[in-house]
Structure 1
Amino acid sequence: MLLTEPFVHEFLRANIWLIEGRERDLLVDCGNGIAPLLPAVRALQERPGKPLVAVATHTHSDHMGGMHEFPARLVHPL
C-alpha cells in the first residue's frame, strides 16, 4: 500500500510503502517526519499491533525523517 505525507509539496514527497506479511509488516521509507506516521500506519494495518519493521532505502531526510517513531528500524548501509 502506498502512503504519502500530508503537508508536504508533492515534488518533495517520498513514497512510503506498507507491505503486510504474515508475522510482521514492513514499512519502506518513512518520509520527512513532518507529521506523525505511526498512528496512520497502525490505522491501515489489517491487524493493528502486529510487529512492524521500518526500513530506509537511504539516508536522505525525505526517506528517514520519521524513523524515530519506530523502535524496530533499519537503514541500508550505502
Structure 2
Amino acid sequence: SLVTAEIFISDKPGILSKWFELRDNGKLTRDLIDAVWTKDKYPDFHDNKDYRLLLMEKLNIIARPKSYGEDGTEVK
C-alpha cells in the first residue's frame, strides 16, 4: 500500500528510501508506485495503475506539482 506505517516497509530495503521521500517531502515517484503495486502481489492495481492514479488525482488524494516557466508564471 502507498499509505502504510514504517514498520510494514522496513523489510523492503529497495523501496525504503523512496518511501521516506514520500513521507518526508510528499514526493510520490513512479518507482515507488511500481515497487509497491507489483504485478505478482497486486495484479489488479498493476494492470490498472494509470487509471487508479488518475482517479486518485481526481479525488484529490494525490496531486501533480505545479510547474513554472522562466518568467515565473504557472505552466499548465
Q: TM-score, normalization: structure 1?
A: 0.31
Q: Which one has the bigger strand percentage?
A: 1
- Choose between structure 1 and 2: higher helix proportion: 2
Higher relative contact order at CA 8 Å, sep ≥6: structure 1 or structure 2? 1
